């Protein structure tokens, strides 16, 4: 017998089912893409036969199990991926369980008049292929799972291979909760051995009606080129702008809190500060009061050599110019604690250190690249006009997230209009933009490139019109 990847995956799926004590239920874990898609299609048909009231009851069961297991999943994610911290990941899991909208998000539009009644209703796509990131593994499955099922779909998840154990655990828990609440098994499916090749097979599979990718530029481009309806939730590089009218102490506290949340892994987290010169020193002093450790001079160059990779850009044939340096991220440091990163500089961080700050020029690689670690460059500019201009530039047109601390309504409005981000947070930590300490629902899939914005169940629906002529209009 040839022992290949599929055989290993099949054995893993079967062992997991037996360990569960019930080999007839798959609870969403399959050896091949074909099997996972077939099971999800069958589950989706069964879901379509249930009432919305029952669907809401299944969602409540998903919410409860996700909430109860929030800390366990956070612990698993930190151990497996080596990124982030348990306390903040627990909050993110709880947030996804509690504040992801359910079926109430689906609404019907109606027109009535001389010629009767016309409705537009939001119907399911069918089976959705959802590709999820290593930075938010369980919270994205919880959030996508609730939203997609609320909209009447089933899902096949393609988790990042570096977070497969955590992702499989939450998919299994959610299926178990659904089955216990009287719903079909396999509304959420995945593979026992998720890989990039499997993600590509999911993108091409004829049994998948829609794709949703939450991740970096590569995967967003891949789903948008797939020929299927696709939602792409891509990278950000959120600037936090502070002008001279802001409450500087509060701005400093909020920036440290937002930037250090889950060790800066969230795509919405502050990635660079742009401060108007006259308040910049005061801002940095307050940041130090709230848990920032400031490095300077040679330490900044040393840190660059540690957390970033560097190579020479490929130049066109015949070009005589000196090659430019191209920087990338050293993935070993993504999502690590500030104290761990400081230890690599030979610095023992004082207790309570949350983030490393440093003053840099506007074109420093720390400003330009999405670091996803608690290292926050601060750039001084002469006035608010320069701050707005630079913020737009370093956000790179991602149209993802921006933060501003100011009491001047004109300044706030000008940056919001110029930067055109999906999320714009005023006078708060960035996470207020996804409902932590701010109003509104949450999501872990923020679709800037394809324009759905903060996704919710309605993002996973098809609009369908139903027309009844010359009746049901009662006036």
The residues that touch ligand NAD, with contacts defined as CB under 6 A, are 131-136, 158-160, 196, 199-200, 214-216, 218-219, 222, 233-236, 267, 370, 444-446
Q: Which is nearer to ligand NAD, 207 or 216 (CB)?
A: 216
Q: Which is nearer to ligand NAD, 226 or 427 (CB)?
A: 226
Minimal CB distance to ligand NAD: which residue? Answer: 215
Q: Which residues contact 432 (CB under 8 A, 6 or more apart)?
A: 425, 438
| 172/177 Cα distance (integer angstroms) | 9
Minimal distance in Å, beta carbon 435 to ligand NAD? 14
| 120/134 Cα distance (integer angstroms) | 37
- For residue 287 the two structure tokens come to 């940041």
- For residue 153 the two structure tokens come to 């779909």
| 325/322 Cα distance (integer angstroms) | 9
- For residue 54 the two structure tokens come to 């029952």
Q: Which is nearer to ligand NAD, 222 or 287 (CB)?
A: 222
| 189/328 Cα distance (integer angstroms) | 34
Minimal distance in Å, beta carbon 133 to ligand NAD? 3
| 425/434 Cα distance (integer angstroms) | 10
Asked whether the beta carbons of 371 and 270 are under 8 A apart, the reply is: no
3-state DSSP percent of the chain in helix, strand and coil, to 5: 45, 20, 35
Minimal distance in Å, beta carbon 443 to ligand NAD? 7
| 81/61 Cα distance (integer angstroms) | 27
Q: Which is nearer to ligand NAD, 44 or 214 (CB)?
A: 214
Minimal distance in Å, beta carbon 137 to ligand NAD? 8
Residue 229, judged by CB atoms within 10 A of its CB (0-12, 13-18, 19+), counts as middle
**Maximum pairwise Cα distance, the chain:** 80
| 63/99 Cα distance (integer angstroms) | 9
Q: Which is nearer to ligand NAD, 148 or 267 (CB)?
A: 267
Q: Which is nearer to ligand NAD, 171 or 284 (CB)?
A: 171
Minimal distance in Å, beta carbon 92 to ligand NAD? 11
| DSSP character at residue 374 | S
Minimal distance in Å, beta carbon 149 to ligand NAD? 19
| DSSP character at residue 264 | G
Q: Which is nearer to ligand NAD, 175 or 445 (CB)?
A: 445
Cite the DSSP H helix spans in 115-242.
137-150, 164-180, 196-204, 217-224
Question: How far from each other are the two terminal CA atoms of the chain, in whole angstroms?
Answer: 74
Residue-wise burial string across 179-207, b where 16 or more C-beta atoms lie within 10 A, e elsewhere = bebebbbbbbbbbbbbeeebbebbbebeb
Minimal distance in Å, beta carbon 375 to ligand NAD? 16
Minimal distance in Å, beta carbon 461 to ligand NAD? 19
Q: Which is nearer to ligand NAD, 205 or 411 (CB)?
A: 205
Minimal distance in Å, beta carbon 372 to ligand NAD? 6
Minimal distance in Å, beta carbon 196 to ligand NAD? 5
Q: Which is nearer to ligand NAD, 215 or 239 (CB)?
A: 215
Q: Which is nearer to ligand NAD, 136 or 260 (CB)?
A: 136
| 31/150 Cα distance (integer angstroms) | 26
- For residue 264 the two structure tokens come to 């800066």
């Amino acid at each position: 017998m040839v022992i290949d990847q599929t055989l290993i995956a099949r054995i893993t799926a079967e062992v997991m089912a037996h360990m569960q004590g019930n080999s007839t239920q798959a609870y969403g874990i399959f050896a091949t893409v074909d099997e996972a898609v077939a099971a999800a299609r069958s589950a989706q048909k069964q879901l379509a036969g249930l009432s919305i009231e029952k669907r809401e009851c299944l969602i409540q069961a998903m919410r409860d199990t996700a909430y109860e297991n929030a800390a366990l999943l956070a612990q698993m994610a930190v151990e497996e991926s080596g990124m982030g911290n348990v306390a903040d990941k627990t909050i993110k899991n709880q947030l996804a369980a509690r504040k992801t909208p359910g079926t109430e998000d689906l609404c019907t539009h109606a027109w009535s008049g001389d010629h009767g009644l016309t409705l537009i209703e939001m119907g399911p796509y069918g089976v959705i292929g959802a590709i999820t990131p290593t930075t938010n593994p369980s919270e994205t499955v919880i959030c996508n799972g609730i939203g997609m099922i609320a909209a009447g779909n089933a899902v096949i998840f393609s988790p990042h291979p570096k977070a497969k154990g955590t992702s499989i655990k939450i998919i299994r828990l959610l299926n178990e909760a659904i089955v216990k609440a009287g719903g079909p098994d396999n509304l959420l499916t995945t593979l026992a051995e998720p890989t990039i090749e499997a993600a590509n097979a999911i993108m091409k599979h004829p049994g998948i009606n829609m794709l949703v990718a939450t991740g970096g530029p590569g995967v967003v481009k891949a789903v948008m080129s797939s020929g299927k309806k696709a939602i792409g939730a891509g990278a950000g590089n959120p600037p936090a702008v502070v002008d001279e009218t802001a409450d500087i102490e509060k701005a400093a506290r909020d920036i440290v809190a937002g930037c250090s949340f889950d060790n800066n892994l969230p795509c919405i987290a502050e990635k660079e500060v742009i401060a108007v010169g006259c308040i910049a020193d005061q801002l940095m002093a307050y940041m130090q009061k709230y848990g920032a450790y400031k490095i300077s001079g040679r330490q900044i160059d040393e840190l660059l050599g540690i957390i970033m990779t560097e190579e020479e850009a490929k130049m066109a044939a015949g070009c005589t110019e000196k090659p430019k340096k191209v920087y990338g991220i050293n993935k070993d440091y993504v999502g690590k604690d500030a104290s761990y990163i400081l230890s690599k500089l030979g610095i023992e961080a004082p207790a309570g250190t949350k983030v490393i700050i440093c003053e840099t020029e506007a074109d420093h690689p720390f400003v330009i690249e999405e670091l996803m670690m608690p290292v926050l460059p601060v750039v001084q500019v002469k006035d608010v006009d320069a701050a707005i201009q630079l913020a737009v530039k370093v956000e790179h047109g991602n149209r993802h997230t921006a933060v501003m601390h100011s009491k001047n309504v004109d300044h706030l409005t000008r940056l919001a209009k110029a930067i055109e981000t999906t999320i714009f947070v005023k006078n708060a930590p960035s996470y207020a933009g996804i409902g932590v300490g701010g109003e509104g629902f949450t999501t872990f899939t923020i679709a800037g490139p394809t324009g759905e914005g903060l996704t919710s169940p309605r993002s996973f629906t098809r609009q369908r019109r139903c027309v009844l002529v010359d009746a049901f209009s009662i006036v």
